[in-house]
Amino acid sequence: MAAPSYGLIATFATVPNLYQAAEKVRDAGYKHWDCITPFPVHGLDKAMGLRRSIVPRISLAGGILGFCTGMTMIWWTGAYDYRLTVGGKPLFSPMFAFPVSYELTILFTAFATIGGMLFLNGLPRHYHPVLKYDQIKRGMDDTFFIVIEARDPRFNLANTKALLAQAGGQEIKELEA
């Protein structure tokens, strides 16, 4: 019995070849696919048709939550928890709450950024079917890959293989799940 297929992987020798292939795969309407490169390639996300990440919005939400937590904590402490009226000082002043709020803004922003990035990337993931490909280590050195997953609605083994070959893919192999 044959193992279920995860998808197809194709090798590309240069960045321009990868760009052109990514645009062809994007234009063909595939949604579940990725590029594997040994270094960041500027503009590849645009060639792949990816939207801007929402991690900055998650970071902003974490920062606002941290600032509000700091202000609320100082207000609660001064007005209710440890009420101390000395020399006519106010029960709450944003000037005195600022250092705590500032530090909590930085802390909550960092946690939200890291947590949002991990969640959106589906991490931690201890295994990926692409790691079974015997040439995947070259993707960390000098080779570029495009992987199209079999779960994509447009995936058809013969048609997808033909598309990758037409796009200039070399060594097009089927990956086991």
Pairing of strands 5-12, 144-149: antiparallel
Q: How far is CA 126 from the centre of its chain?
A: 16
Rg (CA), the chain: 25
Question: What is the Cα–Cα distance from 113 to 130, expressed in whole angstroms?
Answer: 27
**Which CATH number does the domain housing residue 45 bear?**
3.30.70
Last-in-domain residue among 120, 138, 166: 120
Q: Can you give the pLDDT at residue 172? A: 95
> What is the number of structural domains in the chain?
2
Give the position of tokens 């495009």. 146
User: Are residues 132 and 113 part of one domain?
Assistant: no
User: Are residues 116 and 59 part of one domain?
Assistant: yes
Residue 163 burial by Cβ neighbours in a 10 Å radius (0-12, 13-18, 19+): buried
Q: Can you give the pLDDT at residue 86? A: 82
Q: Can you give the pLDDT at residue 2? A: 62
User: Are residues 135 and 94 part of one domain?
Assistant: no
Last-in-domain residue among 77, 93, 120: 120
pLDDT tens, N- to C-terminus, the chain (177 residues): 566 899 999 999 999 999 999 999 999 999 999 999 999 999 999 999 999 999 999 999 999 999 999 999 999 998 888 888 788 888 888 898 999 999 999 999 999 999 999 999 999 988 889 998 999 998 889 999 999 999 999 999 999 999 999 999 999 999 988
User: Are residues 114 and 143 part of one domain?
Assistant: no
Last-in-domain residue among 120, 136, 158: 120
Q: Can you give the pLDDT at residue 18? A: 96
User: Are residues 142 and 106 part of one domain?
Assistant: no
User: Are residues 110 and 64 part of one domain?
Assistant: yes
Note down the domain range covering 59: 55-120
User: Are residues 107 and 66 part of one domain?
Assistant: yes
User: Are residues 112 and 87 part of one domain?
Assistant: yes
User: Are residues 15 and 45 part of one domain?
Assistant: yes
User: Are residues 67 and 114 part of one domain?
Assistant: yes
